[in-house]
Amino acid sequence: MENPFRCGCSSNTTSTCTNRAWSSYRVTSEITSTNPVVAAIISGKAPQPARLAAARGMLPLQQSDLLEVLVALATSDDQQISAAATETLNAETPDNLLVAAKAPDTSPNVLAYLASQAAGTHEVHEATILNNRTPDQAIAKLASTTANGSLLELIAVNQQRLVRCREIIDAILANPARSGEAERRATETRKEFFEKERGARQIADELRARGQNAAAEFFESADLTTPTGELNFDDAWLIAQHIEVSDADLDDSWLPAERYEELLPETAEQSAANAQRVIENERLESGEVSPERVSLIRKIMFMNVKDRMKLAMKGDREARGILIRDSNRIVCSAVVKNPRITEQEIENISAMRTVANEVLRLIAMNRAWARSYTIIHNLARNPRTPIPTAMSVLLRIRTKDLHQITQNRNVSETVRRQAQRLAQARSGE
């Protein structure tokens, strides 16, 4: 599963980007300056005397252009030009270098040079770390060589950089000068964006080898993050056994964009309360719940909301039976959008007194299910059915059953009265 933030560094070696010298960046970087003189000097089109004069700092260039030229010429194959450019760079004042390190338009080549200088000041190194134009490889090099723990902490704070170039993480963790905070951040980022991804891919590969392609698809896209941490391998494997629908069979057009906010993360307390609610509702409807079932319920309910929604749409009968009781309306609604759900399951759901009214409304809207008299009868007498939905199905309820509904105190008074009016109209009263 390709990480969208990862840099072009090879993830198979830890030295690919950390061992590059700053001078190599110029080879693959564009010239930042718009000054044609700078472009001619760096590209080698300018005559040798002009390039030598630039290396000695004798051309009337802006400071930013001068630094870009000097950094480029310091890697020249012409030893005289290279030595002159290096000497001129070494003569630059710390204040000038600090200004360049902070500037938002400084050339990435210059920033890479500043980050690579062991003799550079703390302020300059700090500014290059904070500058978004500093190449990731230069930061990885700095992370591997600096003896300053506070700089390593500053590097570790930028999680986006760490994810983009894993070698920065490796460099931080390999540096004996790292602080506890830098190590914690680097370790957490590695676990969150690399180890977890590799674990999910390992599960997916094994599932696909067993012919469980639908389950493999689920784990290639699943986050596996829970409010209390992450699903371990055994938990993930257990849940995989309850996935039977492939991506190709899904239709998520029922979920409008304005409801995406209902997929926001939950707290551990919310997940625990949701799990307990499902367990108690199962006990009310089915009697005793086995310890194995309780364990599965808790594992599923501690998945994040998005993955529970996916499982509701892709899971087997057992998973559907759990998630139909989920307190999140999108999750329980996704159950009735599962292409494998049966009419018998819908009959049972339509009679449930603990299901969300949104689910009952969706059932009534389905033409195939609405042709079943058992289902519409259940909806008509279910106190959880929204009143407009219950009123709409009453027209199809048999007169004998209408009379029973008028006596059913669990049904709203509005529905009972409408049932009575319909029954009287049919009797000619």
Residue 50 lies in a domain: yes
Residue with tokens 């609610």: 277
Let me know whether 414 and 283 are in one domain: no
Euclidean distance between CA atoms 298 and 278, whole angstroms: 9
pLDDT, tens digit, 9 for 90 and up, residues 286-322: 888 899 999 999 999 999 898 899 999 999 999 999 9
Let me know whether 260 and 315 are in one domain: yes
Handedness of CA 195, 198, 200, 202 (dihedral sign): negative
The domain boundary, picked from 162, 181, 200, lies at: 181
The confidence band for 428, taking pLDDT boundaries of 50, 70 and 90, is confident
In this predicted structure, the answer to whether residue 260 has a pLDDT above a threshold of 70 is yes
Let me know whether 363 and 324 are in one domain: no
Residue 415 lies in a domain: yes
Considering the chain, what percentage of its residues have pLDDT values greater than 70? Answer: 90
Q: What's the pLDDT at 364?
A: 96
Let me know whether 272 and 409 are in one domain: no
The domain boundary, picked from 313, 341, 369, lies at: 341
Lowest mean pLDDT among 49-63, 132-146, 246-260, 383-397: 246-260
pLDDT, tens digit, 9 for 90 and up, residues 174-205: 999 999 999 999 988 887 777 666 667 777 88
pLDDT, tens digit, 9 for 90 and up, residues 4-56: 333 444 433 333 343 334 444 444 457 888 889 988 998 889 999 999 998 89
Contacts 24+ apart (CB under 8 A), 403-410: 405/380, 405/381, 408/381, 410/381, 410/383
Let me know whether 177 and 49 are in one domain: yes
Q: Which of 194, 186, 191, 204 is nearest to 6 (CA)?
A: 194
Q: What's the pLDDT at 358?
A: 93
Residue 409 lies in a domain: yes
The confidence band for 229, taking pLDDT boundaries of 50, 70 and 90, is low
176: CB partners within 8 A, 6+ apart: none
CA distances 35 to 135, 389, 404, Å, are 22, 72, 89
Let me know whether 256 and 119 are in one domain: no
Let me know whether 26 and 174 are in one domain: yes
Lowest mean pLDDT among 18-32, 51-65, 212-226, 369-383: 18-32
Euclidean distance between CA atoms 405 and 1, whole angstroms: 55
Residue 197 lies in a domain: no
Copy the structure tokens of residue 229: 């941490």
Full domain range(s) for residue 106: 22-181
Residue 302 lies in a domain: yes
- Identify whether the C-beta of residue 379 lies closer than 8 Å to the C-beta of residue 364: yes
Q: Which of 132, 123, 58, 60 is nearest to 93 (CA)?
A: 123
Let me know whether 168 and 214 are in one domain: no
- Identify whether the C-beta of residue 145 lies closer than 8 Å to the C-beta of residue 124: no
Let me know whether 77 and 169 are in one domain: yes
The tally of domains found in the chain comes to 3
Let me know whether 272 and 329 are in one domain: yes
Euclidean distance between CA atoms 416 and 81, whole angstroms: 96
Euclidean distance between CA atoms 313 and 84, whole angstroms: 68
DSSP per residue, 283-300: HHHHS---HHHHHHHHHH
Let me know whether 36 and 114 are in one domain: yes
Copy the structure tokens of residue 167: 């070698």
DSSP per residue, 222-247: ---EETTEE--HHHHHHHHTTB---G
Q: What's the pLDDT at 118?
A: 79
Residue 13 lies in a domain: no
Let me know whether 167 and 222 are in one domain: no
Lowest mean pLDDT among 43-47, 119-123, 227-231, 405-409: 227-231
Residue 391 lies in a domain: yes
376 vs 42 pLDDT, higher one: 376
Residue 349 lies in a domain: no
Q: What's the pLDDT at 23?
A: 46
In this predicted structure, the answer to whether residue 156 has a pLDDT above a threshold of 50 is yes
Buried-state track 79-100, b at ≥16 Cβ within 10 A, e below 16? eebbebbbebbeebeeeebbbb
